[in-house]
Amino acid sequence: MSLYKFFPKDEDLIQKIFIRDYFCAIKCSLPKDYNDPYELFLGLDTSVSTRDLAFYNDVIQEIPQLPTTCFSRSIVSLPMWAHYGSNNMGYAIEYDDQILKECFPDASIKNMNYLSEPSTNIAKTLQMASETLKPRYLEFLRQTVMYNAYFSKLEEWSYEKECRFVETGNYTEKVDSNDILFIPISAVKSIILGKNISQTNKDRLIKISKRYKIKVYNFNISKTSSSPFLTDLDGESFVFDKEKEEIISAHKTCKNCPQPLFTESEICEICSITESHKQDAIDRNTFRLLHYTGILDQYLKGFNRISSNK
């Protein structure tokens, strides 16, 4: 399966990502610097006694801040492109998660678990550790806390379909005071260009892709469905298989445009519009009639005035 990392439009960033030959650099951050105010926040079930809570605070003094980087399991999430891809002016890189695990065997690479309420595992493990006072249960508690801290978030963030790389194997390097993970270029499957990417960044990324023989896709917003699609540099269309979490070739496309089709039709709905349809739409558009008679502005002002008084 694949992992996707979104990048903003910053023109200097491309050079930093590919600064080392045959490697792709990713910055790792500490969870305290992330945009979720509840990062590493561990809510306990309200049924936990104050005695156990005091024991918990004594055993777990502080959760260590480990260098972490975040990926997504989806390339077609519009909020991800908006938040992390500079409103489609950035780009994304697709990685092979199996190769990542082989390259960094001691790192923790796991999908995020989204919760609507505090994890019951912590409370259960805490109770066992508090009652028995056995070292092995204290270690179970520490491990449970660590896992939930790094691999669980509030379900409000579930649209990110996040997968995390947590540095537990001394793989990162310090570069200008930043923790940088250098990923072998063999783990890079493709580069996906945002719909609104600048020509400068597009040219730079295509040049890099040719050097390392990396596939390049253009991200496209569908005009006929809620699912975006991709096209390669040859104009071939691709879709995202949500079950396999992979980019796959479109089974069928419109004869007149790259829009993927999921019906028996030969052309998409937009290309099905004829000149006759366009003329009919013009004839039935009441706003055009109001504009031609010179009273459209007057009508809209009156409409807005009435609406604001409701």
Looking at residue 106, its pLDDT comes to 94
Q: Do the beta carbons of residue 48 and residue 121 sit within 8 Å?
A: no
Q: Cβ–Cβ contacts within 10 Å for residue 143, how many?
A: 11
Give the C-alpha separation, 259 to 267, whole Å: 9
DSSP letter at 198 equals -
Q: Cβ–Cβ contacts within 10 Å for residue 263, how many?
A: 9
- Could you report the per-residue pLDDT of 217-257, keeping only the tens digit for each? 999 999 888 889 999 999 999 999 988 889 999 999 999 99
Q: Quote the Cα angle for 248-253-255, to 5°.
A: 155
pLDDT(37) > 60: no
Where do the structural domains in the chain lie, given as residue ranges?
2-186, 275-308
Give the C-alpha separation, 152 to 82, whole Å: 23
Q: 31-35, 86-90, 182-186, 250-254: which has the minimum mean pLDDT?
A: 31-35
75's tokens = 């390339």
Average pLDDT for 24-43: 74
Q: Do the beta carbons of residue 95 and residue 25 sit within 8 Å?
A: no
Give the C-alpha separation, 145 to 52, whole Å: 15
Looking at residue 175, its pLDDT comes to 94
Q: Do the beta carbons of residue 130 and residue 51 sit within 8 Å?
A: yes
Quote the radius of gyration of the chain (alpha carbons, Å): 26
- Could you report the per-residue pLDDT of 260-277, keeping only the tens digit for each? 998 889 999 999 999 999
pLDDT(38) > 70: no
140: Cβ contacts below 8 Å, ≥ 6 apart: 125, 128, 129
- Could you report the per-residue pLDDT of 106-122, keeping only the tens digit for each? 999 999 999 888 777 78
Mean pLDDT for the chain overall: 90
Confidence band, pLDDT 50/70/90 cuts, at residue 42: low
pLDDT(278) > 60: yes
DSSP 260-286: B--SS-SS-TTTT--HHHHHHHHHH-H
pLDDT(169) > 80: yes
Looking at residue 280, its pLDDT comes to 93
Give the C-alpha separation, 261 to 236, whole Å: 13
Q: What's the Cα-to-Cα distance from 122 to each of 66, 111, 119, 158, 160, rounded to whole Å?
A: 20, 19, 6, 21, 24
Bridge partners (DSSP) of residue 253 are: 260
